[in-house]
Chains A and B, each alone.
Chain A
Amino acid sequence: MIYVLNIIVFAICVYTARHYWFTLNRLFGFQRHPYIDIDTADWPPVTVLVAAHNEEKVIANILEALMTVRYPADKILVIPVNDRSTDRTREIIDTFVENFPGRIRPFHRIGGKAGKAAALKDAMELVDTEVILIFDADYIPGAGLIKQLVAPFFDLEVGGVMGRVVPLNAGTNLLTRLLDLERAGGYQVDQQARMNLRLVPQHGGTVAGVRLSALREIGGWNENSLAEDTDLTYRLLLNGWKTVYQNRSECYEEVPEVWSVRVKQIMRWAKGHNQAMMTYGFRLLVGKHRATIRERIDGTLLLGVYAMAPITLVGWALALGVFYQGVAPLHGVIALLSLTAYAALGNLAAFFEIAAAARLDGTRKRISLLPFLILGFAVSIFSVSRAAVSQVTDLLTGAEFHWDKTERFRKVS
């Protein structure tokens, strides 16, 4: 029991050290933004896929925004991927198609497998451009965003691009404010540090781009994946393509406003991530491919972030066990466990990452909400652990994954 506990504490310490490394790099290291200065070029044709499933509240906003972006109008085609919507999504899209002839090519999907990856896979029949951008329907791209997301594709190694996500409804309630802080830490520090250090920035599946030839090379969208973004990141990496992060390519999104929606969202992410870990983890670490050693290590650690939640819970249980058994003077180990546990959940951005992000963003007072993050942490650790347990039971019982779409809170436009 002590040995297991020691291994768990060691693993958590590795994640903590990684988070400190990222934060210090972000504060004091060389910052890589190699493509953001490309503002003049012979811009390639681009297809923008907008994933939409029952998005009547938000779809008009993104289509309006895409019609006014600064990109040569004859080189940008918008494809709203209307995935089996039962609300007014289709009607709204068709109105835009009429109002902007030739600029929007709708894809109304009426059947097939559930999930974003499956919908995107079907929509690929309509895509013939080398550069593809992907947005979820609740995002609102700014005028310069398309060029910023396309620019990295002038680099031959780049297979995927990811921009920064900024919550638009940040001030709604405690949950949105905590998610705003978490997102800041996750993108401003975590993702950018991975970019700086040439590690593995993660493709987020929205405010993102992918190269068509790379996508074809890796076999297209994986409709069996629960997190198509993570799946894409690792398949690109294993095939010699880089995913790059553009911190200054910012886009507003809507974050969940109620805890039940947040729990469902994070459980889906956890399941998808764990699925990718099982599929690609071993191959990434020891397989024969073009990833560098640092990409292999970081990529493996990134795959493990959601697995750390149940592992941390096990660690706590073991710590209590050995304490009451009086097996050995483990005060130091237990103290280490309690101090570092919060940093283990990589995607949930630790306290110091969030504090650094707030400083980098120039926001001041919102940092005083930091103590409340323990609440978000508690919800996350149990939700993610629950997702891991249900994933194992689903595997044993053969139950199929049920796709939960994230509920929108914007008023119908």
Chain B
Amino acid sequence: MSPYLAVGALIFISSLMFILPLVPSLVELRSKSDALPLNVVQQNAGEIRHFADSFRSYIRALEPTMRHCSVSGSMARDILPDGEECVVLGAVDETMVFSLQQQDSAYAVVIAAVIDLIVPAGVTFSKDIYARGQFKGGENNNYRAILGEKDVHLGPSSHVIRWVHAVGKFTADLGCRLHGRISSDSLIRLQADCSFLRLNAPRIEIGRATENGAAPSPNSSLRGSRRPRRFWYDGDFEVKAGQVIPSDIVVRGNLRIRSGARICGSVKSANNIVLEDAVLVEGSLISARKMRIGHRCAVHGPVVAERELALATGVRCGTFEHPTTVSAPSIEVSEDVVVFGTLWARERGQVVTNL
């Protein structure tokens, strides 16, 4: 081989080896196929009612049919703007009820009911449901999503895959599995053995909330301009029973607050927190690990545990006037617990009989 050719070949192959990895880059640079800015959630970040609001707008296209069915007391089939099939119920249709009553039956069209809707047990609704009247579900049903303009009640052992929003009350019987977002404009009540992820309502009751022996309520609020002093402690720390702490507390170790104590500010622990019975925290309560809130405790501000949270019977978080958030990846909550605002278990929330 000629030395010139060899050198030329070497230069050519070397250049090729250098350029080859850049070919996809050059193609992408020219085509700009993935050059849009990252999709940042601008308008609905964190808004629990976002899906419900979107569905309400979506279903608005059925308004003429719904009005017609409501006046005539009939049932009609319609097509939504995206081609989705929909059944509009202005009356209870015998054929539909019969088909739904078949064991393990599935219903795969969107339902829009302008009447009170009572659905039989054992049905899977794989499309969204809109209920302008009361909604009452039977036992062992599976729902994708429900928007109720009045009360929504789920029978025992029902499953919700995505979301439910009730303008009225939302109640779930024993053993329901609520996998998505559950919200109500008035009240959410879950019975024993229910599991949940994200709940939001002015008042969330676990089991039947009693007023007897209810948690202590603060007689002064620190949400005004005055900030309490920050008290630091570098190791484990314990607040004595009945003690009143007039400051915020920051503890680098474990924190135990004995029965009847009152913290007139907020509390933070870089480790575990245990609140014994009838403790009152007027500000926020934040643990970098696990937290247990004992019987009849009251916390005014947000409650956050970075790992696990257990709420014993009689706990009250927030107030009707000052709702708050209770959040942790894993939450166990006893009956007779009331949260005003949001109860959010990122991975697993479970109603237990007693803690």
With both chains docked as a complex, state the minimum distance between the C-beta of A10 and any C-beta of chain B, in angstroms. 30
Which residues in window 213-271 of B have CB below 8 A to A? 223, 227, 230, 232, 234, 248-250, 266-268, 270
Interface status of A368 (Cβ within 8 A of chain B): yes
**Pick the contact of A371 from B22, B36, B283 — CB < 8 Å?**
B22
Which residues in window 98-146 of B have CB below 8 A to A? none
A5-45 vs B, CB cutoff 8 Å, 1 = contact: the mask equals 00000000000000000000000000010111111111010
Contact indicator B266/A156 (Cβ below 8 Å): yes
Interface status of B72 (Cβ within 8 A of chain A): no
Closest to A39 in B: B46
Interface status of A393 (Cβ within 8 A of chain B): no
Closest to B41 in A: A142
Chain A interface size band reads: 35 or more
Contact indicator A42/B29 (Cβ below 8 Å): no
Most chain B CB atoms below 10 A, which of A37, A40, A170? A40
Closest to B307 in A: A30
Most chain A CB atoms below 10 A, which of B27, B48, B306, B327? B327
Chain B residues with Cβ below 8 Å from A32 are 306
Chain A residues with Cβ below 8 Å from B324 are 40-42
Query: Known contacts being A38-B302, A41-B341, is A366 close to B35, with CB within 8 Å?
Result: yes
With both chains docked as a complex, state the minimum distance between the C-beta of A254 and any C-beta of chain B, in angstroms. 10
Interface status of B6 (Cβ within 8 A of chain A): no
Interface status of A132 (Cβ within 8 A of chain B): no
With both chains docked as a complex, state the minimum distance between the C-beta of B141 and any C-beta of chain A, in angstroms. 28
Contact indicator A42/B301 (Cβ below 8 Å): yes
Which residues in window 28-77 of A have CB below 8 A to B? 32, 34-42, 44, 70
Chain B residues with Cβ below 8 Å from A363 are 34, 38
Interface status of A83 (Cβ within 8 A of chain B): no
Query: Known contacts being A37-B346, A171-B36, is A369 close to B29, with CB within 8 Å?
Result: yes
**Pick the contact of A177 from B29, B46, B48, B322 — CB < 8 Å?**
B29
Most chain B CB atoms below 10 A, which of A240, A248, A365? A365
A124-164 vs B, CB cutoff 8 Å, 1 = contact: the mask equals 00000010000000001011110110010011110000000
Contact indicator A41/B301 (Cβ below 8 Å): yes
Contact indicator A365/B28 (Cβ below 8 Å): yes
A184-197 vs B, CB cutoff 8 Å, 1 = contact: the mask equals 10000000000000
With both chains docked as a complex, state the minimum distance between the C-beta of A238 and any C-beta of chain B, in angstroms. 15
A176-207 vs B, CB cutoff 8 Å, 1 = contact: the mask equals 01001000100000000000000000000000
Interchain CA distance A37-B250 in the complex, whole Å: 21
Interface status of A361 (Cβ within 8 A of chain B): yes
Contact indicator A154/B266 (Cβ below 8 Å): yes
Closest to B248 in A: A156
A103-117 vs B, CB cutoff 8 Å, 1 = contact: the mask equals 000000000000000
Interface status of A251 (Cβ within 8 A of chain B): yes
Interchain CA distance A171-B161 in the complex, whole Å: 37
With both chains docked as a complex, state the minimum distance between the C-beta of B136 and any C-beta of chain A, in angstroms. 28
Contact indicator A365/B45 (Cβ below 8 Å): no
Interface status of B191 (Cβ within 8 A of chain A): no
**Pick the contact of A156 from B27, B286, B322 — CB < 8 Å?**
B286
Contact indicator A142/B34 (Cβ below 8 Å): no
Interface status of A406 (Cβ within 8 A of chain B): no
Contact indicator B34/A364 (Cβ below 8 Å): yes
Chain B residues with Cβ below 8 Å from A147 are 46
Contact indicator B223/A42 (Cβ below 8 Å): yes
Interchain CA distance A147-B341 in the complex, whole Å: 15
With both chains docked as a complex, state the minimum distance between the C-beta of A158 and any C-beta of chain B, in angstroms. 9
**Pick the contact of A142 from B24, B38, B42 — CB < 8 Å?**
B42
Interface status of A333 (Cβ within 8 A of chain B): no
Closest to A198 in B: B288
Interface status of B344 (Cβ within 8 A of chain A): yes
Interchain CA distance A115-B298 in the complex, whole Å: 47
Interchain CA distance A371-B302 in the complex, whole Å: 46
* Interface residue ranges, B against A (CB under 8 Å): 21-22, 24-25, 27-29, 32-38, 40-48, 200, 223, 227, 230, 232, 234, 248-250, 266-268, 270, 283-284, 286, 288, 301-302, 304, 306, 318, 322-325, 327, 341-342, 344, 346
Other than A155-B268, A369-B28, give 6 A-B pairs with Cβ distance below 8 A: A34-B304, A40-B325, A140-B42, A143-B44, A154-B286, A157-B268
* Interface residue ranges, A against B (CB under 8 Å): 32, 34-42, 44, 70, 130, 140, 142-145, 147-148, 151, 154-157, 166-171, 174, 177, 180, 184, 213, 240, 248, 250-252, 290, 361, 363-366, 368-372
